[in-house]
Amino acid sequence: MGYSHVRISSDFDGCGGVEGWSDASETFNVTLELVNRSYTGKEIEQLWSGNLLRVLDEVQAVAKKMQS
């Protein structure tokens, strides 16, 4: 797998957690760590929202095809 098949998300209402990301105010820490690990801007965009939007587009295309 890799960054083109993963999306970062959070659930601050549940259990578990990630050190340095205990609530929404610390979300920047995740992006900063990705930059520190040499992820590109495009890769970070895909992780935060790009992959979700790509999959939604694919689902909508299949649904439209099935309806016609």
| Residue 41 reports pLDDT greater than 90 | yes
Structural domain boundaries of the chain? 40-68
Exposure on the CB side of residue 45, measured as CA atoms within 13 A? 6
Cross-strand bridge partners of residue 21: 18
pTM of the model: 0.70
Statement: residue 65 has pLDDT above 90: yes
**What pLDDT is recorded for position 23?**
81
